[in-house]
Amino acid sequence: MTQIAILGFGNIGSGVAEMLMRNAEYIQEAAGDDIFVKYVLDKRDLTGSGYEDRAVKSMQEILCDPSVSIVCEMMGGTQPAFDYSLAALKAGKSVVTSNKAVVAKHGAELLQAAKENGVHYLYEASVGGGIPILHAFDDSLKGCRIDRIDGILNGTTNYILTRMHDCGSSFEDALDEAKRLGYAEADPTADVSGADTCRKICILSALAWGKLVDSDTVYCEGITEMKEEHNAFAAACGGFLKLVATVKRSEGAPMLSVSPCVVMEENPLSSVKGVFNAVKVAAGDMGDLMFYGMGAGKFPTAGAVISDILAILRRKDDTDRYRFFENNDCAPTAYDKTKYDYCVKVTADRKALDAMPLTYTLLKEENGELYVLIEDIAKSDLYAALGGVTVSLCMRAIV
């Protein structure tokens, strides 16, 4: 029997316990072993949860029990989650987590500790909820050259933007609705500021190229300033407003960014609505791949945690390279120096625009304003080229 401890018995932690019990027969068949929750550590009173007899308040009790081989960390925040995870690894216990804040800030250190102690540190649930994107990078895409990753990686922001588009809601009203439905936290700052999305794209970048970039150094723009005019602009350009994280392969510093974008209608990311997430991967000879599913929620995320538990039980001896990356000493390429595609609304006539040192595609012309797509240009060069016209709106485009 494999005995585990759960750190944090909130939405995801309780979901893991429930799924382990409800799906015990299938999990036993997949793992070749029974999985038993021996301890639950949480600051809350667990009376009525069914796990009162397994509740502990001290991490030391878990660390000193040799029968516990796997610790599931779902506490949220970086402390004490990081300290507890590191202590568990040093005690010879594998750790699985849904905590993207810890992975994005301390992942390299924790992976190194896991390697040194012959155990695993796995974090499938930290990106994309129930989407098995990290397992795909580990296995199916291992021999591929990854050129670019675009992702809608936060269910809260995608739900808000969907309601703004479909129902004409304001940002504030859509956020209030997301809170009522449980899609947004009481404090949604990490979601709406883009910080949560930024951590996740840094983790995906590390999986693709082996270097973890500090998310604090990445250009990150959230959705708090989005209004009806931005939705109307996206529609006029032939697309939809989405918060998109992008990382592009580079011989030098990595190119990462998070920002509201016009996702053109022909791009499959444009159809991702509500709390769903999606990741589009340009995978070299394999072409473009799309991963889609519930990006958040109790059971999708808990299922990803359980998938890591099963991965540990199936690959006990494979601790040297599994999801391994290192800290990156270089900062990402500056956003305004990185080439992207842009949708722009300008006040100008066609002749004036044609005379400028750039190539554009006209998307729409209305009331003396031109909606244009300008591809593969750095933002600083874009504004320099458009110096002679009035720019009303400019947003990164995903074509």
Tokens 């458009």, residue?
386
Asked if residue 58 lies in contact with residue 1, where contact means CB atoms within 8 angstroms, the answer is: no
| C-alpha to C-alpha distance for 144 and 288, rounded to whole angstroms | 12
| C-alpha to C-alpha distance for 347 and 357, rounded to whole angstroms | 17
Residues forming beta bridges with residue 185, ordered by sequence position: none
Query: One of 93, 200, 280, 298 is an active-site residue; which one?
Result: 200
Cα distances (angstroms) measured from residue 349 to each of 234, 238, 368, 377? 21, 21, 7, 22
**DSSP codes joined into one string, 77-129:** SSTTHHHHHHHHHHTT-EEEE--HHHHHHHHHHHHHHHHHTT--EE-GGGSST
Assigned token pair, 151: 């992702």
Known active-site residue 200: yes
Task: Give the Cβ contact number of residue 369 at 10 Å.
Answer: 15
Task: Name the residues annotated as catalytic.
Answer: 200
